Chains A and B, each alone.
Chain A
């Protein structure tokens, strides 16, 4: 693989890692498979790209994305908790609705940012190369968000969100409205996802209404890869593993494309198979171990 491809994969992995942190928060912490992300990633891209294209400061434009993402998560959360719509359907409803909203925001299926100033340009100001600037921007944002997420999970609210995902009956009996905790978790998660979309759009130089399709699967794949490769127990370890999972996923995709095993057309099928395999692996290994008659499972 050429250096360009590797750098591209690592950078994209870091930027998607922001989204994966969000998926980690819903899927692993809240135990909620949230499909809103397929709509909130392009939502962040769309709003930031439109704002930048119309001359808004790129930092300001980037900060608007998580706010809108949080609203998207809020809507999914309300659909699920207040109206008892299943988690999957709530997420699908929001993300389908967001497709039209994203088109409205952009007034076209895509917006180009090729000649616009983005946040990355500010990071390469002091004579740094464009790539260094991109690494710096992505690195700073990811490190800050990892620390923020880690800290949040150790606050009273964060602990309540974790307990809600673990044991809802217990959390209610301790006086916490678990509906609100789910809404909080979904909002934070989609804020991260939308921010990820905003950063990706600026990095690749465009926002596209279809860029969100399959986000949830990419997120799950990254979460699972991180867990398998860096099977750590501590919360910090888990959060960091998620970031590495995202980078490894991008590198793996770049590699298989490079080696010609699959073509771009097959990418989604490949990812779907990867996630399926990862999801059924614990079950398969259980059966395998039971057959082999070995004593204990490593949970």
Chain B
């Protein structure tokens, strides 16, 4: 399904600030596999997602989707197959546009935009149906500008937008990280309902280790631009957070000092 080969991304190459964000990362995802990625700040998780989405162009290596190489395609050309939910709820939706207008944009993801009406009455019925599944009351607010919604509502809407037209690959980049715990939980439940249970191939970055082990089929840990741990199947089933911390120590040869990771164990 997704095949990443020896991907290298260097920021500010040749300058004093040069930083290798991805160091020959290779990764294969099977169709329908839901994979979680954890790692500290600067481990390269987000960069990996952005290289797969085409927001960043990697210096070396290839990205293939269903056997087709997309390494040099710009992000908007990959969007037909790949959808991306960002950490910042403000990024996934257009604030001045209404709920239905945002949905209409997502309904045509990857299509050529034509000179026909963006929203037909039949679309509205469909939008309401799908919004109802969020159980946030948004079906009553089709004509509200999105800027009037809360962060959680906007993120839920962004999730719905990614699934309005089923993608081949979903990239979730810490999409609950900037929400309060309760809202984050709601959005996580929606993630299970709309994405995981629909069998959409997914890469989800999270800073919550427990969540990383609980959700999906496979967990990857990144450190300094490399994948240092990759568990799935029965091995993963019995894994606890403290195992994960130990394994991190073994694999990286360093103490796991990222407070954010340790503190995020609970919840």
Contact with A along B89-106 (1 / 0, CB 8 A): 011111111000100111
- Closest residue of chain B to A153, judged by CB? B118
Contact of A175 among B104, B111, B118 (CB under 8 A): B111
- The answer, yes or no, to whether A7 is at the interface (CB within 8 Å) is no
Bound complex: CA of A155 vs CA of B79, how far in Å? Answer: 20
Which of B60-68, B80-88, B224-232, B257-265 forms part of the interface with chain A?
Answer: B80-88
What is the distance, in angstroms, from A262's C-beta to the closest C-beta of chain B? 36
- The answer, yes or no, to whether B207 is at the interface (CB within 8 Å) is no
- On whether A174 and B106 interact (CB within 8 A), knowing A159-B118, A160-B113, the answer reads yes
- On whether A173 and B101 interact (CB within 8 A), knowing A156-B115, A157-B113, A166-B95, the answer reads no
Cβ–Cβ contact B75 & A155, under 8 A: no
- What A residues does B90 contact at CB under 8 A? 167
- The answer, yes or no, to whether A158 is at the interface (CB within 8 Å) is yes
| Chain B residues numbered 98-124 whose CB sits less than 8 Å from any CB in chain A | 101, 104-106, 108-111, 113-119
- What B residues does A173 contact at CB under 8 A? 53, 75-76, 79, 83-84, 86, 92
| Chain A residues numbered 175-217 whose CB sits less than 8 Å from any CB in chain B | 175-178
Contact with B along A45-67 (1 / 0, CB 8 A): 00000000000000000000000
- On whether A175 and B115 interact (CB within 8 A), knowing A166-B96, A169-B86, the answer reads no
**Number of contacting residues on B, CB 8 A?**
35
- What B residues does A68 contact at CB under 8 A? none
Bound complex: CA of A167 vs CA of B116, how far in Å? Answer: 22
- On whether A159 and B75 interact (CB within 8 A), knowing A167-B93, A169-B91, the answer reads no
What is the distance, in angstroms, from A123's C-beta to the closest C-beta of chain B? 29
Cβ–Cβ contact B105 & A155, under 8 A: no
- What A residues does B77 contact at CB under 8 A? 175, 177
- What A residues does B108 contact at CB under 8 A? 156, 174-175
What is the distance, in angstroms, from A179's C-beta to the closest C-beta of chain B? 9
Question: Across the A-B interface, how many residue pairs have beta carbons closer than 8 Å?
Answer: 92
Cβ–Cβ contact A176 & B113, under 8 A: yes
Cβ–Cβ contact B91 & A170, under 8 A: yes
- What B residues does A158 contact at CB under 8 A? 118
**Number of contacting residues on A, CB 8 A?**
22
- What B residues does A166 contact at CB under 8 A? 94-97
- The answer, yes or no, to whether A268 is at the interface (CB within 8 Å) is no
Contact of B97 among A157, A159, A177 (CB under 8 A): A159
Bound complex: CA of A171 vs CA of B92, how far in Å? Answer: 9
Contact of B118 among A156, A167, A177 (CB under 8 A): A156
| Chain B residues numbered 159-210 whose CB sits less than 8 Å from any CB in chain A | 161
- What A residues does B93 contact at CB under 8 A? 167, 170
- Closest residue of chain A to B54, judged by CB? A172
- The answer, yes or no, to whether A163 is at the interface (CB within 8 Å) is yes
Bound complex: CA of A289 vs CA of B111, how far in Å? Answer: 46
Bound complex: CA of A178 vs CA of B76, how far in Å? Answer: 8
- What A residues does B105 contact at CB under 8 A? 159-160, 163, 171, 174, 176
Bound complex: CA of A175 vs CA of B110, how far in Å? Answer: 4
Cβ–Cβ contact B95 & A155, under 8 A: no
What is the distance, in angstroms, from B189's C-beta to the closest C-beta of chain A? 23
- The answer, yes or no, to whether A154 is at the interface (CB within 8 Å) is yes
What is the distance, in angstroms, from A162's C-beta to the closest C-beta of chain B? 6
Bound complex: CA of A178 vs CA of B161, how far in Å? Answer: 19
- What A residues does B86 contact at CB under 8 A? 169, 173
| Chain A residues numbered 113-156 whose CB sits less than 8 Å from any CB in chain B | 152, 154-156
Bound complex: CA of A89 vs CA of B119, how far in Å? Answer: 36
Bound complex: CA of A251 vs CA of B86, how far in Å? Answer: 48
| Chain B residues numbered 109-142 whose CB sits less than 8 Å from any CB in chain A | 109-111, 113-119
What is the distance, in angstroms, from B112's C-beta to the closest C-beta of chain A? 8
Cβ–Cβ contact A156 & B116, under 8 A: yes
Bound complex: CA of A173 vs CA of B52, how far in Å? Answer: 12
- What B residues does A154 contact at CB under 8 A? 117-119
Cβ–Cβ contact A156 & B113, under 8 A: yes
- What B residues does A174 contact at CB under 8 A? 79, 105-106, 108-110, 161
Bound complex: CA of A159 vs CA of B114, how far in Å? Answer: 10
Bound complex: CA of A177 vs CA of B161, how far in Å? Answer: 18
- Closest residue of chain B to A166, judged by CB? B94
- What A residues does B97 contact at CB under 8 A? 159, 162-163, 166
Cβ–Cβ contact B91 & A162, under 8 A: no
What is the distance, in angstroms, from A67's C-beta to the closest C-beta of chain B? 18
Bound complex: CA of A158 vs CA of B105, how far in Å? Answer: 11
Using CB atoms and an 8 Å cutoff, list the residues of chain B in contact with chain A: 53, 55, 74-77, 79-80, 83-84, 86, 90-97, 101, 104-106, 108-111, 113-119, 161
The 6 closest A-B pairs by CB, nearest first: A175-B79, A175-B110, A166-B94, A156-B113, A159-B118, A167-B94
A-B contact pairs, 18 of them (CB 8 A): A155-B117, A156-B104, A156-B115, A157-B115, A158-B118, A159-B104, A160-B113, A167-B90, A167-B91, A167-B94, A169-B91, A171-B94, A172-B76, A173-B75, A173-B83, A173-B84, A174-B109, A176-B113
Known: A157-B115, A166-B95, A175-B76. 7 other contacts (CB 8 A): A157-B114, A159-B118, A162-B96, A162-B97, A172-B55, A172-B79, A176-B113
